[in-house]
Amino acid sequence: MNVIDLFSGAGGLSLGFMQDGYVVKKAVEFDSSIANTYEKNHPEVDMIVDDIKNIDQSGFFKNGDANVIIGGPPCQGFSMAGARIRNGFMDDPRNYLFKHYFNVVKTVKPEVFVMENVKGIQTMQKGEIFKEILRLFSNLEILNGKPYNLYYRVVNAVEFGVPQKRERMIIIGTTKDKVDFDGLWKKTKKQISDEIPTYFDYVTVKDAIGNLGDTTEDGIVDNPKPETEYQKYLSSTATKLKNHTKTHHSKIVIERMMKVNNGQNFTVLNEDIKSVHSGSYGRLSWDEPAPTITTRFDTPSGGRFIHPIKNRTLSPREAARIQSFPDDFVFYGKKTSIIKQIGNAVPPKVSYFLARLVDNILER
């Protein structure tokens, strides 16, 4: 069963499908540094480093290239301006990333597509954006008489045994009729639970990163013995782990962090902290999942990312653990790129569940 991954990032969504035996034939990523991480971890995949607009218009994809298309077009620019005109939504330049995702699905015509996006897409512009996306994928005329039956659900990563409260919208389209989506969802959960009884267990920050010791300048550390079921699930046989890189904080920032206890944030500091984030200078608690890992997890003012007992923010390896990346998955590039790769990724444990769900939709 072949897969195409659009807007692939470092490959979190691909990874879950690979773990389930799918063959990712092609992946598309605009950022060459991020694409490099994908390529080094998945050298067998044909990685296309280009703007999806160029790929869509080049005739690169053909009907039947894949059974499944996965990916989430970034939605920051979504607009409904002009949508009252026939297909105006697709012609608005702010919607071009979605337009080209749609066009690739229309061209390849997979049996299933999986589209991941922010939870807020459902309420953007009073829900009009979301309704328009659903309308387009189920439009008989635009899709040449072969529309998709659509199912969607907001999922929280913590429900999939990921130590993180990360909510995302999942939209699944299939050419198959009469899919009992809720029934297949429950069936998938039972199948995985039967095979891996601890898969959906509640996981805390300590369960995830408690065995990782001090960071190093080059990020290379001895591979610690896994102590929890979650650590065992992600563990590697390598003698060394990578990306456990030291973050350098200024003296004043360290002094601030020293005043913040578990679960507290900037409000305990007797100073005016200028940050738009309500969790600024927040310290994680050992016995809870983390909040959403973002592309600012190395910045104390960027959210609740201070280590539970150390006066520093999370290392990339710790953030990757909280995102459920295996320990042998290595991130490459400059620090800012690595943080972006991890923060934007789909947790592979969520992705694996979605792959198993697609199995059941396709009766595979």
Active site residue 310: no
Q: Which of 48, 75, 221, 330 is catalytic?
A: 75
49 burial class (0-12, 13-18, 19+ CB within 10 angstroms)? Answer: middle
Q: Which positions are catalytic?
A: 75
